[in-house]
Structures are given as C-alpha cells and as structure tokens.
Amino acid sequence: MPKDHGIGASVKRREDVRFLMGLGNYTDDMAIAGQAHAVFVRSQVAHGRINKIDTADAAAMPGVLAVLTGEDFKDVGGNPTGWLINSRDGTPMREPKRPALAHGKVRHVGDAYAVVIAETYAQAKEAAEAIVADIEELPAIVDMAAAVADPSNRVHEEIPDNLCYDWGWIEDNRAAVDEAIKNAPHVTTLELVNNRLVPNAMEPRASIGEYFPGTGDYKLTTTSQNPHLTRLLIAAFVLGIPENKLTVVAPDVGGGFGSKIYHYGEEAVVLTAAKKLGRAVRWTAERSESFLSDAHGRDHVTRIELACEKDGTFIAFRTETMANVGAYLSNFATVTPTFLHGTLMAGPYKVPNVYVNVKTVFTNTAPVDAYRGAGRPEATYSLERVIDKMCRELGLDPFEVRRKNFITTDMFPYTTPVGLAYDTGDYHATLDKAMAMADVAGFEARRAASAAKGKLRGMGLSTWIEACGIAPSHLVGILGSRVGLYDAATVRVNATGNISVMTGAHSHGQGHETVFAQIVADKLGVPEASVEIVHGDTSKIPFGMGSYGSRSLAVCGSAVTRAIDKIVAKGKKIAAHMLEAAEEDIAFENGSFTVAGTDKAKTFGEIAFSAYVPHNYPLETLEPGLEETAFYDPANFTYPAGAYICEVEVDADTGKVDVVAFHCADDFGNIMNPMVVEGQVHGGVGQGIGQALCENTVYDENGQLLSGSYMDYAMPRADDVPFYNVDYSCQTPCTHNPLGAKGCGEAGAIGSPPAVVNAVIDALQRGGHSHVTHIDMPVSPARVWAAIQG
Amino acid sequence: MTKVTMTVNGRAVSGEVEGRTLLSAFLREGLGLTGTHVGCDTSQCGACVVHVDGQPVKSCTVFASDVEGASVTTIEGMANPDGTLGRVQQAFQDHHGLQCGFCTPGMVMSAAALLAENPKPTEADVRHYLEGNICRCTGYHNIVKAVLAASGQDVSGLAAE
Amino acid sequence: MYAFDFEKPKTVAEAVEALSREDAMALGGGQTLIPSLKQHLAAPSALVSLTGIAEMRGVCTGTDGALCVGGATPHAVVATEAAAKYPALAALAGNIGDPAVRNRGTIGGSLANNDPAADYPAAVLGSGATIVTNTRSIAADDFFEGLFTTALEPGEIIVEVRFPIPQRAAYAKFQQPASRFALTGVFVAKTANGVRVAVTGASENGVFRWSEAEAALSADFSAEAIEGVSVPAEGMVGDLHGTPAYRANLVKVMTQRAVRAA
Ligand SMILES: Cc1cc2nc3c(=O)[nH]c(=O)nc-3n(C[C@H](O)[C@H](O)[C@H](O)COP(=O)(O)OP(=O)(O)OC[C@H]3O[C@@H](n4cnc5c(N)ncnc54)[C@H](O)[C@@H]3O)c2cc1C
Ligand code: FES
Ligand code: FES
C-alpha cells in the first residue's frame, strides 16, 4: 500500500480547497478602503529621447489624484542587479541605472515613463491617454550583432558597444579547447537560436502600496516569488525606506516561473504614490502590459562545436553565445546566461575540455532574465542538439553515444571542466529506464503505423542535467553574487501543541503548504493537520530568499529540517528533566520522548505544554518556549538529471508537428510527495513543448513587439500536448542536504525542448528529407514546411 | 448607471452598473466574488469562465447589462450544498489538477459545462473543449485526467499512447 | 473602455431606431467588439445589443429549402441546430474559437466584422449564401469587400443569412497556432450549378473564391483534380505564422482535404 501520510506520500494538497472554492486571495482580489487606481503610461517607441512630458491636461481630468513621471524618481535609487560579472579581460560588467520610471530616454516599447493615479481605473486610464509626451524617436537597436557592431547607436549613452560583458568560462580552458578542436578527428558545428519567451504566469503582475502615517510604516502587497528580496531591494537600493518600516506581502500568487522573482518599478511607484496621497494605490497589469514589461526569458544565439573521435567519444565542446539582456538589467539578468548556463556545458558527460564564451548585449527590448530553467535549458538545448547532429553525421546510435560518454557512478564526486562538482547521479539508470518506458524497440512498428496514416514519425532523445537548489553563498560570493542564497525557517510549536512553520520559501503553485507540513509532521510524529505553513509575509517569516531555481525543498526544506532538529534537541532536554533521566538516554520517535530501556515517556504535546507552562522545567539551564529558527546554506548545488524521449508525428503537407508520446525518467533523489513531483514535471514539459513548438517572441526592426498578445503568442493549449509518462524511481539521494532531495521544479522545461526538436529532425530524416539537419525553435508548421521545401 | 438584476449562485442580486461594466467586474468588484479571475484582455485565457443560464461564457467578454435577468453560476457556486467540494472540484483536488490555482476557476467551470453536455468524454473531447482555457502550470495532464475522472472513467495509468 | 449607453431592444425596428443615433454601434456576441473596446479602438456613444431580438435568433428552413440562420444566432446554436440539414456549416460553427466564445459570438457579428481569418465568411461565400439585412438582400459574392470591410451601410443590421444546401460540402481549417483563427481555411461546396471554393485566412484581401480550383473541381470533384492547380504566393499574407508561399501551399492542401471530407 502506498503511504498515505508523511514523507513520500502523495498527500492531496490542502491549498487546493480554497482555490477550488474560489476563495484564493490573490493581490487583485483585495479591496482596500479608500484605494486609488494607477495606470502606467508606456512608451510606444522602442527608443526615444524624452523631451517633455506634459501632464497638465491629464491632471485636470475628472477623478485624477496625481500624475508622476520619471522626474519624480530621478533622485531616488535604481533597481539594482544581483550579480557582478567580469569580462574576460577582468573589467567589470557595465551596469546602467534602471529607474522606477524612465527618465531622459525610453528604451523599449512598454517602458513606463509616467503614471496616473485616479479614483477609478477608468478615470486613470482615460487620463493616461491625455498625457502629451514629446518623445523624439531614435533608431531602435534590436538585433544583437548589429548592436555590438554599431557604436554610434546606444541603448545607454555610457555603453558604447551595447555590451554588458564578454565572459569566458573557463578562460584557462580556452587554449586547450581550441587546440583540441583543431586536432580532433571530427567536429560537428551547429548554429542555433534559443527562442525568446514570455513567461506568462496566468496571474498578471499586481501591486498595492499602502502607507500608514501614524507609524510611518509602508506595506506592499505584490505578486512576488520572494517578498524579503523585494523588500531588501526597495529598502536598500530603490526608495531607501528603512527595511523595518516596510512590510512586503506576497499572498496567493498565480504562477511565477521566474518572472515574479524580480522587483519591478511599478512596486516602487505604488508605494511612493500611497505615501504622497495617503491612500492605498493599486495596479494590476493588463495582459498586454505583461507582454511588454514582464522580464522575458532565453534569447540566445549560439554557435556550438563538438569535437569527438570517430566513435563518438567526446573530446571538447566550445560555444560562442550572444545573450540578449534587453534594455535594462533585471535583478538576475547577468547570472542567467553566465553561471547558470556556462557551468552546465559539460552536461552529464565526461568530456575533458569545455570552453564557453558569452557576450551579453543591451537592446531596445524588454529586459530578459531567468525563466523556468534559466540558463540550463539553453545549455541543455545546445548540447543535446549538437550531439544529435554529430550522431547523424557519423552514423552513430544516439543512445549508445550518450552511454559511452556518461560520467559513471564510480566517478562521483565528479568535477567538470566548467567548475561544478556533481555529488551523485546514475545517468545510465535513467536512460535505461526511459528507453524501457518508451519501448524503443517497438518504434519501427509505430513508425510504420504513422506512415500508413500519411504521417512522418520520429523519436528524439535528450539526457539532461542541471544545477539547482540555489546556492552555496560562499561559492556564489566568489562568482560575483551580491546576495547570499541560504534560506530560513522558523518552527513554532504552540502551547497547545500545534505547529506554525514560517518559511522563507514562497509557494506560487508548488504546494509548500502541503509538502512542508508532510515533512514536519513526519519528523515530529504529529498529524499533518496540526502543522500550518506560513509564507509570503515579511512581518511573519524569517529572512529567506524565496522560491526559484528549484530551491524550495533543497534549501528551505533543509532549513525546516534543521529547525526541527533543534526542536527535538530542546524537547529532549525538557523530557530529560520531566522524566528524571539523562539527556543522552532520551529517544524521540513517533511523537514520543522515551527513556531508553524503560516505558517512561512524554508525548510531544506534553513537552510543548511544559515549554510554555514551565512549572516542572529546567529554568536554570533552559529558556522556556519551543520555537527554533534555522538558516540553511547549502554546501553545493543539487544535480537532478534524467533522460527524456519524445515521439512526434509530422504532417509533411502542412508542417504540423504533434507530440504523440513523451517519456521522462528523472532522478530527483528522495521524493517527498510523488503527486506534486509529477505535477512539476508535467508543467515543465508542457512549457518545454511550448518553447519547442509554438512560443516565440518577435520584435520587428523598429522594436515593436509583434507577438504581444495571445492572438500571436502561441501558448500551448490542452490539445497541443499529450499525456506525459513520468518516472522518478531512479533515485540517487543528494549527498549534502538532510532530505537527500534534489530540485524538480525546472527539470521538465530543461530536458524537453531538445527531445522534441531531435524527434522532429528524426522524423524528417527518416521521411526522406535528409537535407534537414536543424530547424530553429519554435518548430512551427511554417518552419517545418519551409525546411522540407529546402 | 443603471440597475441590473440577476441570480448569482442561486441568490437574487442587483447592483448599479455602467453600460461598460463587464460581468467579470460586476462579480468581482460589485459582489466580491473574486473567485472569477481575469487573466487577459483579449478574451483568450478562460480564467473568467462562468455559466450564464447553464452555458459557459467568458465573463470578461459580456456586459453585466446584457445578462440582465439571467442565472449566473460562478466557481463559488460549485460546492455541494453541505459545503464540501463538488464533483468536478473534488476530482481536481484528487488528481492534482491545479497548481497556482489561477486558471482553476475557469477550468472547473468549463469542465463542468463539458460534462453536462457530454457525460463520458474521450481524452480528445476534453482537450478540445478546454481549448479556450490556458493553464501555465500543469501542462494540462492532470487537468484532463481530473475531468475524465470526474466523468467516472478509470484514469489509472494514463500516459500518451 | 470609454463610457457608452447600453440598449437592448426587443425588435429589429427598435434596434434600427437605436442605431440611428450618432456613433451608436450594434453589439452581437461582443466576442470581437468587447476586446477592441478594451483597447480603446472604438468609442461608441451607445451599444445596441441584438441578442434580445427573438426574430434574429435560431435556425430554420425557408420555403425555398434554404437554411436560414438568424443574424444574432450564436455559433453553438448553429453547431447543433444546423447539424442535420447542413453538417458542413454546423461543423464549421462548432469549431470557431472555444465553447465559451461559441455561446456568445454570432454569425451576424462575424460577417459584419469580416476578419480576414474568420471562418464564417468562407462558408457564406463558399455556399453562395444570401445576407438579409433590415433593408435588403445581399449576395455573398457582393458582400465581402476586403479586410474588415463589407457592403453593409452604417446602421444596417444582418437579420438573417440564407444558405442554399449544396449536394456535398466541407470545410478544412488549418489553425493559426496562437489565435486559432484560420491560418487558412477552405470551404468547398458542390452544387447543381458547379463547385464553389472559398478561402479564408490566406489572402491579403480577405476571403476569396479560388476560381481555378472551382473549374477543376466542377469537371472532376476529387482531390486529385487540383493536383496541377495552385494559387500564386503573391497577394497571400506573410506574417509571424507563415510566409505567403506557405499560405499558398495551405490553400491547396486544405482544398484537397475539404474535397476528401465532403
Ligand atoms: C477567443 C476567441 C477565439 C475566436 N476564434 C475564432 C475563430 O476561430 N474563427 C472565427 O471565425 N472567429 C473567431 N472568433 C471571433 C468570434 O467568432 C466572434 O464571435 C465574431 O467574429 C464576432 O461576432 P460577435 O457576435 O461576437 O460580434 P461583436 O463582437 O458583437 O461585433 C462585431 C462587429 O459586428 C457588428 N455587428 C454585430 N452583430 C451585427 C449584426 N447582426 N449586423 C450588423 N453588424 C453587426 C458590431 O457592431 C461590430 O462591429 C474568436 C473570438 C474569440 C474571443
Ligand atoms: S480574462 Fe476572460 S478570457 Fe482571459
Ligand atoms: S494552475 Fe496555474 S495556471 Fe493553471
């Protein structure tokens, strides 16, 4: 019988009840007495000099309470970047100021330069149209290569070549890699584009600012994945509000996928306006604003070379990438194409030599930052596509080539040539599992069946690895991070014995309220129902870094575990006193403190009560109360890995691709809640199929966003995807965190795109279109058809 | 402003609205029924789906005045009379058919409408019917599974092909 | 949205009266108009909802045997009520947008709007239907005048659409991946007077009749009959979702599929 509670059980999610009843509490659901409405005025041109903004007409319109422009924010701070990257020559990256509202210049379509606050939303919206902005249009910088080539046209005046940095990883490998490639028996080269994506969390961003003049306190309710980080940025860098006078609340949040990690200017504006007006000021993005102003993802142009022996044994990988960072540096924009990407360029392979070069470029487009997977999907896509191409060039079996090159289980811990130390894994096991799930042997028969229907069938493989559970503070500090990446949890055992757990991690779909409660209940031997998880409110939770980078369980879950250990340790002291035994003789199991070898015992509840009503208590040596906080700083990343096999059918007449089967064999180490893990993989694969087949963000040469709504940005729908076949039975527990858990949140989005594209190429090759060796994502019907035509 | 009257979740309600007041706004702001979500401005995402006289409609694309006198059901009206989760809602919880919960109200309302029309849909029927409901979290797997389960079909061991 | 007055007349006559006001606009199902009002693309003084006019809703059979669809009939109603008499039309209606859109969107709204990627124009032109307004009858061949333009005069209301029933017909649609409108859709109808082929989604000038295919199919109603026929890429739409050449290819492929399905 499967477990029905505790660690490893598919416990149904408690948060679902409120969501299913329509009783969720998302930012836009909150109505605050006296609230006013903000509407932002956004640039219609990609690049322009702001000569004058005339707000007089707007200010005079009915219901208008205030109009603010970049001028009002020019003397406060800018929105900073969390990671310093140095160029190959040792010079620090270029870091332009990112103001809350554009000042002097607008730098992308959707760049907000003014805001109107009015009694009603409709009034604010109408007044926003009455603002007359004299903006002198400048030539738009859209193409990355052109941006770097033409120093006369600059996104930021002080950055002549529009280059943020030119990064090499690892620079010491460069000469050896060049040499290896020069001398290699075979080199496969592939130029590819990792398409720009709009995260599209279904809840648009929203923020409500409040100011309480009696105390001078501010409150920001906002759609954030990490309220403490947002508070820190606003306090320390942007508005200078003392950190202890600002509360940031991220209530129910409708998905993030990275886009809600970052602090955005709108948050600073609603806080400032709330103080100015003495009223709550609210803003909710329209979807079209989200398209223009949420941080986008990916957008790499890469040339990768794979050098190998004729039998497919890898000798070296070399990549040159241009990464688009957009018009401003979003909070993690600089680390995503570098340390989250370059360090993964060895994959799960024992390749001796790797060198990565990344040039990160400013353009007149929306900022680009981490989106589900962040850098690792880009690395995986480049590797798994070039390996597939090499196999075809040399006539080798793609499964065998992976096997030949995998790091083997006897090699851990394994340090890659790009600087990561993989602690554990079993890549052969996940590949074997995936092949069994996919019935690889039966493919020929399925292909024939598809052919009989007039469809070309193909199979694609991707064996992926990623580094997540971000991140060891010491290491990231050396690499340029300006923050620590630990997390924190407080376990408060209340006097009546039930438990409140305050976490730095924030759940916006991941199910922490259920899964963390499972862990706590399991470890303390109490019913799950007596454990409450509190997250998302800086006035309640300890300083934690929030949820992204598949870190919630591996980092914050470890903090919870450590805090529980402290609770148990203290409980033992209390029990020893009450049971008149030595502390060393107290055992804790199944919610009961016992004296070894006797039947003397105290329940967890009795100990908790005693801690708060300390009549029979060692007060001389022990404080009353039963509440512990732990900060957990991971010793290393976790390294989940897996093998994905995709099967597609291609309609050669129209170019339409149908994903007909998708198999995932993953190694996430120990599993807390299988149901939740499956859901995470499903969601990631859905997004990966979206990236591979339909999603694309297109700016025209004037910097206008052509795919700015769901009319043109193709979100995967229910009928675009199949059921996924997901397995996580290969488990090599993480060696360095107390739960043995690896991150699972981004896996699906990392591993799936190359599996899909490899399958499409396979289908075309087998279908007689052998000239098609690559198609850039999204592999849309039009592109597939055009590729077939040659 | 004009007065509009309708039945919402079995309760007679009325309110003052402008011509341009959308049903979604009337429900959320006028009646405080914030379970109905708004996820787009081009009528595509389906987060706002409610039933009007038993039929699913996008409440962001209907004026409140245009459904004067109608009977409207929202996600808040889908629970059993004893307050427990209704059949479709329960299936969504049982099969993890939601993550962030934002698309969920619209999904549940669309799914319930499908099952009213077609009590034993195939997988393809479900996927086609949910074409106008976008979910970014689940990859749709568990949503489709939940809807099939709510129709009483066996969903153990579902995978592609 | 800018403010406007909302009116919901009960008869066509009342609606015509209400629409005579300056800048008043008809409101069908609102599935196109409301999103454009949100974008401030229109600023009507009043919206006149047609959905309360009983005489404009429903499907019936005319004395001449034609299928008559009321101008304010939602797509979902056509999908079910036309199924027995004109299955190709019902299938087309049942695949417009999604269920919620079909419950509101109307045939009159779709035709009046004449979106170059809309489905109904292909059925109306392909069937050789007649558009009946409050003042006149307009043959399909005279109705569509290019992108988002029709023969309708300001204030004129589509009251009914009459479809003669062909011997065989089918619609084949290739969806635009994002909007799911027709990237290219082809309606083929075989009638006593020959074959009609109407193409939506593909041309820069909106829905059109593909006369070469009509001639070939009138001679031999089979997919193979148009193997040697093609439309030039010139004049086809080129955008994010496909080049003119791609659309030209789809016109042929979808025509063949429609013929096979008819
Ligand atoms: C998510 C979504 C998906 C869609 N997918 C498709 C699709 O796949 N294929 C497709 O063809 N369409 C699609 N549509 C459009 C849909 O079919 C609309 O319903 C239709 O185009 C407009 O009809 P309506 O009744 O909603 O008109 P409205 O939006 O109310 O009006 C449109 C225009 O027509 C005028 N008008 C309305 N009724 C009349 C009348 N009886 N006489 C004269 N003028 C009138 C109005 O004044 C207005 O100018 C989609 C819409 C949405 C929101
Ligand atoms: S909010 Fe109604 S469809 Fe998106
Ligand atoms: S559950 Fe988050 S969008 Fe569907």
Say if the Cβ atoms of A780 and C241 lie within 8 Å.
yes
Task: Flag whether A2 is in a domain.
Answer: no
| Tokens of residue A215, six digits | 């105390």
For the Cβ of C129 lying below 6 angstroms from any atom of ligand 1, the answer is no
Assess contact for A380 and A466: CB atoms under 8 A: yes
- Whether residue A260 sits in one domain with residue A213: yes
| Tokens of residue C241, six digits | 């979702």
Task: Flag whether A174 is in a domain.
Answer: no
- Whether residue A306 sits in one domain with residue A266: no
Which subunits sit against C, judged by 3+ Cβ pairs under 8 A?
A: A, B
pLDDT tens per residue, range C135-156: 999 999 999 999 999 999 999 9
Percent over 90 (pLDDT), chain B: 96
Q: What is the mean pLDDT of chain C?
A: 97
Task: Flag whether A267 is in a domain.
Answer: yes
Which subunits sit against A, judged by 3+ Cβ pairs under 8 A?
A: B, C
Total count of residues recorded for chain C: 262
pLDDT for A240 equals 95
Task: Give me the CATH number covering residue A768.
Answer: 3.30.365.10
Chain B nearest C-alpha distance from C100 (Å): 4
pLDDT band at residue A458, thresholds of 50, 70 and 90? Answer: very high
Task: Flag whether A278 is in a domain.
Answer: yes
| A7 alpha carbon, distance to own chain's centre | 25
For the Cβ of B40 lying below 6 angstroms from any atom of ligand 2, the answer is yes
- Whether residue A752 sits in one domain with residue A681: yes
Distance CA A91, CA A93 (A): 7
Torsion of CA C247, C252, C254, C256, to 10 degrees: -170
For the Cβ of A255 lying below 6 angstroms from any atom of ligand 3, the answer is yes
For the Cβ of B28 lying below 6 angstroms from any atom of ligand 2, the answer is no
pLDDT band at residue C90, thresholds of 50, 70 and 90? Answer: very high
**Domains of chain B with bracketed CATH:** 2-78 (3.10.20.30), 87-150 (1.10.150.120)
Distance CA A511, CA B73 (A): 28
Omega before C43 within 30 of 0, i.e. cis: no
Residues of B in contact with C6 (CB under 8 A): 2, 19-20, 63, 65-66
Of C39, C40, C178, the CB nearest to A710: C178
Has residue B160 got a pLDDT over 80?
no
pLDDT band at residue A1, thresholds of 50, 70 and 90? Answer: low
| A577 alpha carbon, distance to own chain's centre | 47
pLDDT band at residue A649, thresholds of 50, 70 and 90? Answer: very high
pLDDT band at residue A367, thresholds of 50, 70 and 90? Answer: very high
Has residue A120 got a pLDDT over 90?
yes
Alpha-carbon Rg of chain A, whole angstroms? 27
Distance CA C115, CA C92 (A): 16
**Atom 1 (ligand 2) nearest CA:** B38
Of A252, A687, A748, the CB nearest to B101: A252
pLDDT for A118 equals 98
Q: Centre a 10 Å sphere on the Cβ of residue A744 and count the other Cβ atoms it contains.
A: 29
Distance CA A756, CA A758 (A): 5
- Ligand 1 pocket test, pick from B42, B44, B58, B129 with the greatest ligand atom count within 8 Å of Cβ, gives B44
Q: Centre a 10 Å sphere on the Cβ of residue C31 and count the other Cβ atoms it contains.
A: 26
- Whether residue A388 sits in one domain with residue A309: yes
Distance CA B96, CA B107 (A): 13
- Whether residue A447 sits in one domain with residue A373: yes
How many contacts does B have with C, using Cβ atoms within 8 A? Answer: 81
| Tokens of residue B137, six digits | 């979290």
From-to residues of CATH 3.30.390.50 in chain C? 168-261
Residue that finishes a domain, picked among A632, A667, A687: A632
pLDDT tens per residue, range C163-195: 999 999 999 999 999 999 999 999 999 999 999
The DSSP letter of residue A32 is -
Name which of A21, A55, A32, A19 is nearest A206 in CA terms.
A32
Chain B nearest C-alpha distance from A285 (Å): 9
Distance CA A319, CA A351 (A): 14
Its pTM stands at: 0.98
H or E element in which residue A69 lies = strand A64-69
Residue of A nearest to B138 (CA): A683
pLDDT band at residue A151, thresholds of 50, 70 and 90? Answer: confident
Beta bridge partners of A37: A118, A282
The 10 Å CB-count burial string (b at 16+, else e) for A147-176 is bbeeeeebbbeebebbbbbbbbbeeebbee
From-to residues of CATH 3.30.465.10 in chain C? 5-163
Distance CA A520, CA A11 (A): 13
Chain B nearest C-alpha distance from C39 (Å): 8
Q: Structural domain tally of chain A? A: 3
pLDDT for A234 equals 97
Torsion of CA A140, A143, A145, A148, to 10 degrees: 30
Residues of B in contact with C76 (CB under 8 A): 55
pLDDT for B159 equals 64
- For A441, A676, A725, B146, B154, the CA distances from B157, given in Å and listed in that order, are 21, 16, 9, 13, 9
Name which of A383, A387, A407, A418 is nearest A751 in CA terms.
A383
pLDDT for B97 equals 98
Residues near C3 by Cβ (< 8 Å), separated by ≥ 6? Answer: A122, B18, B19, B20
For the C168-261 domain, the top CATH level (class) is: alpha beta
Residue of A nearest to C180 (CA): A711
Distance CA B2, CA A775 (A): 57
CATH of segment(s) C5-163: 3.30.465.10
Distance CA A575, CA A569 (A): 10
Assess contact for A50 and A302: CB atoms under 8 A: no
Residues of C in contact with B43 (CB under 8 A): 31, 34-35, 101
Name which of B29, B119, B23 is nearest B73 in CA terms.
B23
| B4 alpha carbon, distance to own chain's centre | 22
User: What number of CA atoms fall less than 13 Å from residue A525's CA on the CB side?
Assistant: 14
Side chain identity at A701, as an amino acid letter?
Answer: E
Per-position DSSP letters for A173-202, written without gaps between them = GHHHHHHHHHH-SEEEEEEEEE--B----S
H or E element in which residue A489 lies = strand A487-493
Residue that finishes a domain, picked among A251, A284, A317: A284
- For A51, A476, C76, C123, C243, the CA distances from C184, given in Å and listed in that order, are 45, 52, 22, 13, 12
Of C1, C8, C103, the CB nearest to B55: C103
C-alpha A153 – ligand 3 centre gap (Å): 42
**Atom 4 (ligand 1) nearest CA:** C97
Task: Flag whether A127 is in a domain.
Answer: yes
C-alpha A38 – ligand 3 centre gap (Å): 26
Residues of B in contact with C38 (CB under 8 A): 41
Residue that finishes a domain, picked among A254, A284, A314: A284
Beta bridge partners of A656: A651
Which subunits sit against B, judged by 3+ Cβ pairs under 8 A?
A: A, C
Distance CA A450, CA A762 (A): 14
Q: What is the mean pLDDT of chain A?
A: 97
B115 lies within 8 A of chain C by CB: no
User: What number of CA atoms fall less than 13 Å from residue A729's CA on the CB side?
Assistant: 9
pLDDT tens per residue, range A187-244: 999 999 999 999 999 999 999 999 999 999 999 999 999 999 999 999 999 999 999 9
Of B41, B66, B133, the CB nearest to C38: B41
Residues near A617 by Cβ (< 8 Å), separated by ≥ 6? Answer: A574, A577, A578, A610, A611, A624
- Ligand 2 pocket test, pick from B28, B60, B133 with the greatest ligand atom count within 8 Å of Cβ, gives B60
C-alpha C105 – ligand 1 centre gap (Å): 5
Of B20, B42, B131, the CB nearest to C3: B20
Task: Identify the three-state secondary structure at position A50.
Answer: strand
pLDDT band at residue A3, thresholds of 50, 70 and 90? Answer: confident
Has residue A2 got a pLDDT over 90?
no
Chain C nearest C-alpha distance from A224 (Å): 27
Residues of A in contact with B133 (CB under 8 A): 718
pLDDT for A541 equals 97
Distance CA C94, CA C77 (A): 9
Name which of C220, C210, C221 is nearest C252 in CA terms.
C210
Task: Flag whether A480 is in a domain.
Answer: no
Ligand closest to the CA atom of residue B58: 2
The DSSP letter of residue A267 is H
Instruction: Identify the sign of the CA torsion C149, C151, C154, C155.
Output: negative
pLDDT tens per residue, range C28-52: 999 999 999 999 999 999 999 999 9
Residues of A in contact with C243 (CB under 8 A): 782, 786
Assess contact for B104 and B36: CB atoms under 8 A: no
Interface of C with B (CB under 8 A): 1-6, 8, 27, 30-31, 34-35, 37-39, 46-47, 49, 51, 76, 97-101, 103-104, 179-180
Task: Flag whether A531 is in a domain.
Answer: yes
Which residue range forms the structural domain that includes residue A532?
Answer: 486-632
**Atom 2 (ligand 3) nearest CA:** B100
Side chain identity at C63, as an amino acid letter?
Answer: T
The DSSP letter of residue A523 is H
| Tokens of residue A60, six digits | 């005079």
pLDDT band at residue B40, thresholds of 50, 70 and 90? Answer: very high
Task: Flag whether A167 is in a domain.
Answer: no
